[in-house]
Amino acid sequence: MATSGGKVLDFEEYVRTRQEALLRSARRLVPDPVDAQDLLQTALVRTYGRWDGIADKSLADAYLRRVMINTRTEWWRARKLEEVPTEQLPDASVDDGTEQRADRALLMDILGVLAPKQRSVVVLRHWEQMSTEETAAALGMSTGTVKSTLHRALARLRQELQMRDIDARMLERGERGREQERCAA
């Protein structure tokens, strides 16, 4: 099945080794997992036709991500708006996202307590979902260093979260105590 100088086999091997990481990237672009799979498949079909034109195969991930972004944008522009006029508006309960923004703000604040190297390891391993080996290669360190740095960073984050939780509970108790004193007076 190897045609045009092994193009099919090279592409198949690439897809086989990078499929999980590419699917994670697609899931970040579209909320529905089935749509993410469709997005990845469409991007792979489009990339296959230009596979020989990618001279530096180490940039194939970046190329595919760009194809996924462009494809998602095309889908978004082509979507059909399904608005139906009605005399009565439906009840709408909208989640304002306050809790998500608060969690994100807390996360960003707590990441600030880490040293830059620890922060980089945590972000690449848990936010970007890179493997230990990929993280090590990206940061120019050994896999053992990535593992130990990640272990210490996560321990530091847990400690910081516990300290903030204790501080919040003490603050809450203090406020309740002041309220009780005001009510008693």
DSSP label at residue 83: -
CATH 1.10.10.10 maps onto the chain at: 112-182
Mean pLDDT for all residues in the chain? 84
Cα–Cα distance measured from residue 39 to residue 32, given in angstroms and rounded to the nearest whole number: 10
Give the tens place of pLDDT for each residue, 49-69: 888 888 888 888 889 999 999
In this structure, which topology does domain 112-182 adopt according to CATH? Arc Repressor Mutant, subunit A (1.10.10)
| pLDDT average, residue stretch 85-111 | 78
CA-closest candidate to residue 63, choices 87, 91, 83, 44? 44
* pLDDT of 20 above 80: yes
DSSP label at residue 124: I
The whole-number pLDDT of residue 150 equals 95
CATH 1.10.1740 fits 9-80, yes or no: yes
CATH 1.10.1740 maps onto the chain at: 9-80
Tally of residues, the chain? 185
The whole-number pLDDT of residue 80 equals 65
Choose the weakest-confidence range: 94-103, 118-127, 134-143, 171-180.
Answer: 171-180
Q: How confident is the model at residue 181 (pLDDT cuts 50, 70, 90)?
A: low
**Counting Cβ atoms within 10 Å, is residue 31 exposed (0-12), middle (13-18) or buried (19+)?**
exposed
CA-closest candidate to residue 43, choices 75, 21, 65, 13? 65
The whole-number pLDDT of residue 23 equals 92
Largest CA distance in the chain: 89
